[in-house]
Amino acid sequence: MKHLKYLLLFLFATINAQTLTLEECYNLAKQNYPLIKRQDLIAKTKEYNLQNAAKGWLPQIQIVGQATYQNDVTQLPIKIPNVNLDPVSKDQYKVYADIQQNIYDGGMIANKKKIANINSEIELQKTEVETDQLKLRINQIYFGILQTDEQLLQTELTKTDLLNGLKKAEAQLQNGVIFKSNVDVLKAQIVNIEQKQVELKSMKKSFLQMLSLFIKKDLDENTILQKPEKILIKDENKRAELQLFDLQKQSLDLQKATINSKNLPKLGAFFQGGYGKPGFNMLKNEFNIFYIGGLRLNIPISGFYTKKNDLALLKTQQEEIDVQKENFLFNQQFQTIQNNDELDKIQQLISKDDELVALRESIKNASFAQLENGVITTNDYLREVNELDRAKNQKITHEIQYLLTQYNLKTELNQ
């Protein structure tokens, strides 16, 4: 009857209670994690870099003003009869606009755009690496709540066994069969159980507050967390770090392409137009308008001085990334082996837990009948109730530990 009462109370309490799944907690925690705001900043940075790179195709314009004095000027070495040429002034002035237009840049601008894109992907992937670790923290909290829920339910069952025993003991006390101390033993253990319930409820409250902080939802003691099913872990590693390593190597490939582009010939158009004294006609010593335009071919030579070392440095950095990736995979494999061994061990323990609980349940039932008939004392009955409680709590711990290990492994492999 009491079991039915607790069941009805539980059903009534859950009618208006919110239900959460582990996957929902993952998604909510990721959406509300402060670091996720960085994605918008990364997108803005990428857009600015792409716009700046594209502006490399716009005409590059500068205004130049110049006033000079020189110690000598060009003069004719002979005098021409009837021709009077004023010498060019030693003080000269000019203001002009200089316009440069890229026609072929060896792929520099295209590489800048690609680098802006890959750098954005790298930063986003770094954020993904950090947010993936968030799942491990959610696992600890989520399964911690599940364990306290099941332990609270177990304390109620144990308390029911103790109350049943107490009822029999009090009847025997009234009949003068046992001493009051035999009754007090059961009462004291009931108080211990109630203390344990207080501790478990406090622990659950702390877990709920932590989970609420992560998922930004108000949770109370009536919140129901759905217990996940056992899962099949695939032999497949999808960790975000692996993609990060690949993106970093792609970035180095683009840097290599940039070094090669830097040393390619560059073709551009130019135009200079201005006002100065003298103009391009050096024999006309007065202010005048001047302009010049054309094509310019630049063939960089000095870049070849360091090209070999620059490429060798990039190769070294790529090899370093390969070493980091190899080390990461080694540690991952080691952790996976440990987790799989732990799962095998826990599964065996759970099988033994089932046997032990069945035996302890049988022994407890027999001891209750013996207590009722006065064959054993309340101490004997209490011992068997405690042993059953210990066996059931041990099973609860192993079952939750198994699920936690499974879902941690799933998270570690990003499946």
pLDDT tens string 102-149: 999 999 999 999 999 999 999 999 999 999 889 999 999 999 999 999
Model pLDDT, residue 235: 82
Q: Which residues are bridge partners to 273 per DSSP?
A: 97, 291
pLDDT band at 284; cut points 50, 70, 90: confident
The closest of 244, 256, 249 to 121, measured between CA atoms, is: 244
pLDDT band at 2; cut points 50, 70, 90: very low
d(CA 369, CA 392): 21
- In the block, residue with structure tokens 């711990």: 397
d(CA 105, CA 111): 11
291-302 mean pLDDT: 93
Model pLDDT, residue 340: 94
Model pLDDT, residue 33: 92
Q: What is the mean pLDDT of the chain?
A: 91
DSSP letters, 256-281, are HHHHHHHTS-EEEEEEEEEEEES-S-
Q: Which residues are bridge partners to 99 per DSSP?
A: 61, 271
Report the predicted TM-score, pTM, of the whole model to 2 decimal places. 0.82
The closest of 82, 74, 90 to 281, measured between CA atoms, is: 74
Q: Which residues are bridge partners to 67 per DSSP?
A: 93
d(CA 41, CA 46): 9
36-62 mean pLDDT: 94
Question: Of 68-82, 84-98, 202-216, 360-374, which range is least confident?
Answer: 68-82
First to last CA, the chain: 45
Model pLDDT, residue 17: 67
The closest of 164, 105, 128, 173 to 36, measured between CA atoms, is: 128
d(CA 180, CA 314): 85
- Tens digit of each residue's pLDDT (9 = 90 or more) over 192-201: 999 999 999 9
- In the block, residue with structure tokens 């129901």: 224
Q: How many CB atoms lie within 10 A of CB 160?
A: 15
> Residue 301: exposed, middle, or buried by beta-carbon count in 10 A (0-12, 13-18, 19+)?
exposed
d(CA 97, CA 61): 7
Model pLDDT, residue 83: 66
| Residue 288 phi, psi (nearest 5) | -155, 160
Element (H, E) at 95: strand 91-104
Residue 12 has pLDDT above 60, yes or no: no
Model pLDDT, residue 47: 96
Half-sphere exposure of 303 (CA within 13 A, CB side): 12
3-14 mean pLDDT: 50
Model pLDDT, residue 118: 97
37-64 mean pLDDT: 94
Domains of the chain as residue ranges with CATH: 2-32+105-264+300-412 (1.20.1600.10)
> Residue 385: exposed, middle, or buried by beta-carbon count in 10 A (0-12, 13-18, 19+)?
buried
d(CA 357, CA 28): 38
Model pLDDT, residue 16: 58
- Tens digit of each residue's pLDDT (9 = 90 or more) over 381-404: 999 999 999 999 999 999 999 999
Q: Could you tell me if residue 176 is left (phi over 0), alpha (psi between -120 and 50 degrees) or otherwise beta?
A: left
What is the DSSP secondary structure assignment for residue 285, as one 8-state letter?
-
